[in-house]
Amino acid sequence: MDLQPPTNQAPSFPNPAKQEKPAIRTMRGDLERLSKAKTAQAPEKLPVSPVHPSSESQPSQPAPPLPPRPLPPKKIPEKSKGPTPKKSKRGLKWFIGLIIVLFVGAGGFLYWWNYIRFLPPLASLTHFECQNSQCIEVEGEGENQCLANADCLPEEPEEPNSLIPVSETKTIEISISQPENQTPESLLLEKIKTAVLQEQGPGLLKRILVKIINGEKKYASLGELISGLGINIPQNILTDLKDYTLFFYTQNEGPRLGLIIETAGDIKENLTLWETAMTADLEPLFLEAVKEEPENRTFQDNVYQNIAIRYLNLPDPSLTIDYASIGNKLIITTSKETIYQALEVLLK
């Protein structure tokens, strides 16, 4: 058997078409031929895939991941030009509420400051009373008469009208609880001297009001003034006297007191009877003791602006007792200059 060298050619096989077909025809063979004929008539459609130039030379690689899609920008709502009606109403309610809270707080603080802080603890048996115009805490049960010193101050009385025109009013306060070594008369005289001696040089008529403090404040009546000064007016004259005004006039020699009294009837005759004791009865009005008695104790007549005056000269030329009646007013002074000045202002 001869061995031939291998070649690159494929081995030859006998062509099945050239072989002789079997002489027996079967139904199976007819069906196969019919099937092949239908297949030859309709060529098979194969899916066509796109061909990339690089697909033949380079191996296929996975596609890179797509970048994340950017998010759309957030829409910022535009600021409204003014508050909405709801917000405006809400702010107004808060403002009104704040004002109410402030008012209530201030009222509560003032009530506590003026009243509550003065109250004693509930457990203590004390109360407050007014003593010498002061609110004092007192031991023991009782009702509170005051809560602060202001509650113990007496009300100011109504100032009386002046019976004579004056340029100024000076008020002197006298407390009933004066020192034991000082009588009411000496205390009032000292205060009057202090008030009138403050005036320097000649001046106009000025009024003196005497205010008495004794648990309450009031202006001294004529009877209280007479008692406080220590002067004396006969009862038959005093019964016809009503309102009064105490005044003074400053002349070159010093201040001189005067008294003008409203009368209820004709007292001319009773005044003439009083002349003999008038110097001694009215001595406190001179603000100092009369050192010498007048040589002539008889009153004399004088006229000033058609007004009749009765007068008595004292050893000191600047001191006299002058009195006159004008209408229903009785004027008593301690110098001629003072009664002249009083008549001038009353006759204007």
The residues facing 136 across adjacent strands are 129
Q: Which two tokens stand for residue 6?
A: 């291998």
Q: How many CB atoms sit inside 10 A of residue 81's CB?
A: 5
198 and 315 inside one domain = yes
The one-letter amino acid code at 5 reads P
121 and 248 inside one domain = no
320 and 225 inside one domain = yes
Confidence band of 342 (pLDDT split at 50, 70, 90) = very high
The one-letter amino acid code at 334 reads T
Q: Is residue 161 part of a domain?
A: no
262 and 172 inside one domain = yes
pLDDT over threshold 60, residue 41:
no
pLDDT the model gives residue 291: 58
pLDDT the model gives residue 72: 63
The residues facing 168 across adjacent strands are 206
The SS3 call for residue 213 is: strand
Cα 305 versus chain centre, distance: 57
21 or 145, which is more confident: 145
Q: Which two tokens stand for residue 285?
A: 């009005």
Query: Last residue of a domain, which of 101, 125, 152?
Result: 152
pLDDT over threshold 70, residue 126:
yes
pLDDT the model gives residue 344: 94
Percent share of the chain, pLDDT over 70? 68
Confidence band of 242 (pLDDT split at 50, 70, 90) = confident
Candidates 236, 287, 235, 239; CA nearest to 259 is 287
Rounded Cα gap, residues 13 and 58, in angstroms = 39
> In the chain, how many domains are there?
2
pLDDT over threshold 80, residue 163:
yes
Q: Is residue 6 part of a domain?
A: no
Rounded mean pLDDT of 221-238? 90
- Least confident window among 41-45, 72-76, 151-155: 41-45
- Least confident window among 16-30, 61-75, 322-336: 16-30
- Least confident window among 111-125, 262-276, 334-348: 111-125
Cα 63 versus chain centre, distance: 86
173 and 200 inside one domain = yes
The residues facing 25 across adjacent strands are none
pLDDT the model gives residue 7: 46
Write down the mean pLDDT value for the chain. 78
Q: Is residue 21 part of a domain?
A: no
183 and 281 inside one domain = yes
Q: What's the whole-model pTM score? A: 0.58
191 and 234 inside one domain = yes
55 or 201, which is more confident: 201
Rounded mean pLDDT of 128-152? 86
Rounded mean pLDDT of 83-88? 59
pLDDT the model gives residue 80: 52
CB–CB of 259/334 below 8 Å? no
Cα 217 versus chain centre, distance: 28
146 and 286 inside one domain = no
pLDDT the model gives residue 56: 46
Rounded mean pLDDT of 89-114? 84
Confidence band of 174 (pLDDT split at 50, 70, 90) = confident
Rounded Cα gap, residues 156 and 173, in angstroms = 12
135 and 257 inside one domain = no
Rounded Cα gap, residues 261 and 332, in angstroms = 8
- Least confident window among 38-52, 64-78, 166-180: 38-52
The dihedral region occupied by 306, where left means phi > 0, alpha psi between -120 and 50, and beta the remainder, is left
304 and 201 inside one domain = yes
pLDDT over threshold 70, residue 120:
no
* 141: containing domain: 117-152
| Segment of 16-20, 121-125, 172-176 carrying the highest mean pLDDT | 172-176
